[in-house]
Amino acid sequence: MKHFMSIAAVAAMTVMAAQTAKAEPQAEVLHWWTSGGEAKSVAVLQQEFASRGGVWTDMPVAGGGGDAAMTALRARVLSGNAPTAVQLKGPSIQEWYEEGVLADISAVAEANGWEDVLPANIAGHMKCEGSWCAAPVNVHRIDWIWANADVLAKNGIAMPATWDEFNAAADKLAAAGITPLAHGGQAWQDATVFEAVALGIGGPEFFQKAFVELDMATLKSSTMVAVFDQMRKMRGYVDADFSGRDWNLATAMVMNGEAAFQIMGDWAKGEFLAAGKRPGIDFLCASTPGEGFLYNVDSFAMFAVDGADKQAGQALLAELIVGQNFQKTFNLNKGSIPARTDVALDDFDPCAHASAQDMAASNYGGSLLPSYAHGMALRGAQAGAITDVVTAHFNSDMSSADAVEMLANAVANSL
């Protein structure tokens, strides 16, 4: 009887496998890549998916650095109708795993040797209790400063290497009637500038203790006061109409010469490139002042779904996302660098080469750090608590000392 049942079980599994193999891959994909460079990048995946016989249903949700997309996702999951694949990253992947709604894609990862081609720290974000639950798309650097080359040249300004140099350049630009810093008044953009300033002023160890370990002494330190002091200066360098502006519109201000600088992740480079702008000629790139490398990894998690066609779609998507061809083509469009370490960078621009070199050096030197502002370092409650304080300070006349006290209290209450 046991032998008969074993044969029956194997037969059933064989039939299921055959059905999955024959199923037309289907994928409803929720993401927030809606700007010019981002839309061009996600189209690469759609085309590759279609070329392999897949049927892609696009579910783009614009705005909020992914906040709006997460609201839409929660509504879908609560209604029992999760999308096939969702753009997720960092600790939010593990949060959804803990809710029991993610699929295991370890079979795809193992068949394609992901362990051998992904950096260990990147791979760690993609695993849930040892099993692969997400596929990494790229590595974005957060702490970039972008500049209009012509504006700087006409005003005799070099790319700043220190925050004092940045402040001096910004003051000179403001005196000439040019907006020094293109910025959008959205919470995640405030947090992006803040963490770049924090890393630059405090250094990697300070950043690790404050925004990864949430060390109270560091959060309350005089160094943190200095970070908020610099943020107060940054507030004075943006234009009066910054409130609610999307990040890509701020990038356009730099492109058009309306503003000199933008502090933003290297998806901004995707906008420059999509507009036909040339690195080193039309625009300049450099890490923000200070030591270290803040990373953000875009990735897709596969949600538990019924149906051989959807499951086949998930397997195909995961395979393509980490495939060499997509990793190269996508990142050339997106402005980021491949998550795989074996993708040749011959066709990438100088900014990408600098990013790859800095990432390798920071990884070796222990200063490769997950971005808190972009959901890589902290869970939502803690990250949100910090950002609420950053935005409150940025949009008021709150003192730096009061901001530090509020920051420590907010973090303590979020734990």
Task: Extract the runs of DSSP E, i.e. beta strands, from 201-292.
Answer: 259-263, 283-287
Residue (of 283, 376, 288) closest to 335 by Cα position: 283
The alpha carbon dihedral of 213, 217, 222, 224 has a sign of positive
At residue 242, the pLDDT reads 97
The alpha carbon dihedral of 39, 344, 135, 371 has a sign of negative
- C-beta separation of 254 from 283 below 8 A: yes
Q: What letter would DSSP give residue 366? A: T
Take residue 6 and report the two structure tokens written for it: 């074993």
Phi, psi of 21 (to 5 degrees): -65, -35
Task: Extract the runs of DSSP E, i.e. beta strands, from 187-292.
Answer: 259-263, 283-287
Domains and CATH numbers, the chain: 22-140+296-350 (3.40.190.10), 141-295+355-414 (3.40.190.10)
Distance CA 297, CA 295 (A): 7
Distance CA 221, CA 206 (A): 10
Distance CA 88, CA 361 (A): 27
- C-beta separation of 386 from 376 below 8 A: no
At residue 333, the pLDDT reads 82
Residue (of 196, 208, 186) closest to 264 by Cα position: 196
Q: What pLDDT tens digit does each residue of the chain (415 aa) get?
A: 444 334 443 444 344 344 444 679 999 999 998 887 788 888 989 999 999 999 999 999 987 668 889 999 999 999 999 999 999 999 999 999 999 999 999 999 999 999 999 988 889 999 999 999 999 999 999 999 999 999 999 999 999 999 999 999 999 999 999 999 999 999 999 999 999 999 999 999 999 999 999 999 999 999 999 999 999 999 999 999 999 999 999 999 999 999 999 999 999 998 999 899 999 999 999 999 999 999 999 999 999 999 999 999 999 999 999 999 999 998 988 889 999 989 999 999 999 999 999 988 898 888 999 999 999 999 989 999 999 999 999 999 999 999 999 999 999 999 9
Any alpha helices (H) in 56-186, and if so which ranges? 67-78, 91-98, 106-111, 114-117, 120-125, 149-154, 163-175
DSSP 3-state assignment of 371? coil
- In angstroms, the Cα distances linking 110 to 19, 124, 132, 318 are 22, 15, 9, 11
Sequence-separated contacts (24+) of 327-333 with Cβ below 8 Å: 327/137, 327/138, 329/44, 330/41, 330/44, 330/45, 330/137, 330/138, 331/138, 333/37, 333/40, 333/41, 333/44, 333/270, 333/273, 333/274
Take residue 384 and report the two structure tokens written for it: 């949100």
Distance CA 266, CA 257 (A): 19
- Locus of tokens 């194997």: 10
Sorted by sequence, the CB contacts under 8 Å of residue 306 that are 6+ apart come out as none
Exposed/middle/buried for residue 23 (C-beta within 10 Å: 0-12, 13-18, 19+) = middle
Looking at this protein, which amino acid is placed at residue 145?
I
